[in-house]
């Protein structure tokens, strides 16, 4: 097993954001049978379990736990990609009855870092997905909500803390961003991604499940995703999804051997569509889906009902891409 693994002490509250429910609220909920929320803390392992029949069309865990009625979304894409290129049909099973999670400490000594692993319990397909975050880090509620939804689709999702406890905060002055950014060496981030990858491979190889992983990256994590694939000499990954990656190096495309699904907003100034189109030509089997009128981060941080609709569409297409590129091609 790669690295030294320690389990963190129990967190003060479940890592995923939620609003506490009273008994009366649960009884009045339209989902009367679902709000069984517990925290299992059997030393030394700290786990959390969510017994929720989840409607995957809902955009956030917080809305589910507030017992709001399910939101409805249209799934016809506003992107400029034809439906025979990337399927956007929803999978038949949209219910996730149980997801478990564990907080981990990966690596050794001064090179250790936190991570969390979400696992689908009842519908687990045995496949692992590495999720690389944006600058707001692995504890951000939007990131954890997204990871939860991916896990609900049957996956084991590992989210490492790429910033070792020092993510960017929206409260900090924007003029400090570059100063903050350079404190997180890309070489050090790459090392932590490698450690996370090897940990997952060792875990799944030992279980005799699969020799391949999927990888998802947002913004900062999207740029690091391409770097990770370019140096993946061992062929650990079989498919990838890059959401509006930043600080991209287009030349890396020549070294990437697996298909990449690129998601971007046409108005995203941090991730030019033209750059992705060029990479699409160089990476065999890749696709670019550009959403009209959308800017940066719309797919995991939608700020309007219109963005919610496109975010849902992108999630469904991404889920099918993962299924076809990972589950159907398992060893």
Q: Tell me if 225 is assigned to some domain.
A: yes
Could you tell me which residues come within 8 angstroms of residue 33 by beta carbon, excluding any fewer than 6 positions away?
53
Q: CA-to-CA distance for 155 and 319, rounded, in angstroms? A: 10
Counting Cα atoms < 13 Å in the Cβ hemisphere of 327 gives 14
Q: Tell me if 278 is assigned to some domain.
A: yes
Q: Tell me if 108 is assigned to some domain.
A: yes
Q: CA-to-CA distance for 319 and 86, rounded, in angstroms? A: 11
Q: Tell me if 1 is assigned to some domain.
A: no
With beta carbons less than 8 A apart as the criterion, state whether 196 and 158 touch.
Answer: yes
The tokens 């939804």 sit on which residue? 149
Mean pLDDT of each 10-residue bin along the chain, 331 residues long: 41 37 28 28 35 37 29 34 38 60 94 95 90 93 91 95 92 90 94 97 76 93 97 95 92 96 90 94 95 82 76 91 90 52
Query: Rounded to the nearest 5 degrees, what angle is found at the Cα of 263, between the Cα atoms of 71 and 156?
Result: 70
User: Where in the sequence is the domain holding 280, given as residue range(s)?
Assistant: 6-327
- What pLDDT is stored for residue 105 in this prediction? 96
Count of structural domains within the chain: 1
Q: Tell me if 81 is assigned to some domain.
A: yes
Pinpoint the alpha helices (H) of the chain. Answer: 23-28, 61-65, 141-152, 177-182, 186-206, 220-230, 273-282, 305-322
**CATH number of residue 209's parent domain:** 3.40.50.1820
267 three-state secondary structure:
coil
Query: Would you list the DSSP string of 185-253?
Result: -HHHHHHHHHHHHHHHHHHHHHTTS-S-EEEEEETHHHHHHHHHHHT-TT--EEEEEEES-SS--GGGG
Query: With DSSP H G I counted as helix, E B as strand and the rest as coil, what are the percentages for the chain, rounded to 5?
Result: 30, 20, 50
- The closest of 142, 144, 154 to 94, measured between CA atoms, is 154
Q: CA-to-CA distance for 119 and 127, rounded, in angstroms? A: 10
Q: Tell me if 206 is assigned to some domain.
A: yes
Q: Does the N-terminal peptide bond of residue 76 adopt cis geometry, omega within 30 degrees of 0?
A: no
- What pLDDT is stored for residue 59 in this prediction? 37
- The closest of 166, 168, 165 to 176, measured between CA atoms, is 168
With beta carbons less than 8 A apart as the criterion, state whether 230 and 279 touch.
Answer: no
Q: CA-to-CA distance for 216 and 220, rounded, in angstroms? A: 11
- What pLDDT is stored for residue 208 in this prediction? 64
Q: Tell me if 266 is assigned to some domain.
A: yes
Counting Cα atoms < 13 Å in the Cβ hemisphere of 159 gives 28
- What pLDDT is stored for residue 295 in this prediction? 77
260 three-state secondary structure:
strand
- The closest of 285, 288, 283 to 265, measured between CA atoms, is 288
With beta carbons less than 8 A apart as the criterion, state whether 331 and 211 touch.
Answer: yes
Q: CA-to-CA distance for 236 and 94, rounded, in angstroms? A: 28
Axis crossing angle, helix 220-230 with helix 186-206, rounded to the nearest 10: 70
Q: Tell me if 50 is assigned to some domain.
A: yes
């Amino acid at each position: 097993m790669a690295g030294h693994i320690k389990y963190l002490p129990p967190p003060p509250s479940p890592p995923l954001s939620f609003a506490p429910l009273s008994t009366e609220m649960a009884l009045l909920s339209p989902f009367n049978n679902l709000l069984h929320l517990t925290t299992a803390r059997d030393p030394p392992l700290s786990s959390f379990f969510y017994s929720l029949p989840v409607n995957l069309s809902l955009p956030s865990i917080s809305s589910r736990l507030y017992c709001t009625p399910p939101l409805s979304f249209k799934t016809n894409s506003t992107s400029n990609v034809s439906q025979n290129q990337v399927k956007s049909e929803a999978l038949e099973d949209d219910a996730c009855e149980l997801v478990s999670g564990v907080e981990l400490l990966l690596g050794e000594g001064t090179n250790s870092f936190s991570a969390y692993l979400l696992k689908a319990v009842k519908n687990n397909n045995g496949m692992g997905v590495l999720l690389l975050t944006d600058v707001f880090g692995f504890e951000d509620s939007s990131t954890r909500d997204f990871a939860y939804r991916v896990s609900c689709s049957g996956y084991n999702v590992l989210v490492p803390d790429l910033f070792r406890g020092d993510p960017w905060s929206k409260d900090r002055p924007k003029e400090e961003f570059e100063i903050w950014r350079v404190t997180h060496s890309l070489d050090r981030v790459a090392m932590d991604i490698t450690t996370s990858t090897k940990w997952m491979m060792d875990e799944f190889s030992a279980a005799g499940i699969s020799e391949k992983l999927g990888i998802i990256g947002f913004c900062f994590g999207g740029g690091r995703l391409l770097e990770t694939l370019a140096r993946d000499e061992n062929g650990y990954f079989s498919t990838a999804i890059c959401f509006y990656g930043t600080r991209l190096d287009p030349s890396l495309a020549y070294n990437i051997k697996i298909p990449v699904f690129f998601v971007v907003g046409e108005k995203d100034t941090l991730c030019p569509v033209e750059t992705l189109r060029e990479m699409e030509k160089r990476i065999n089997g890749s696709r670019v889906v550009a959403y009209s009128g959308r800017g940066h981060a719309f797919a995991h941080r939608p700020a309007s009902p219109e963005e919610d609709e496109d975010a849902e569409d992108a999630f469904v297409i991404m889920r099918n891409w993962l299924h076809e590129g990972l589950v159907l091609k398992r060893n």
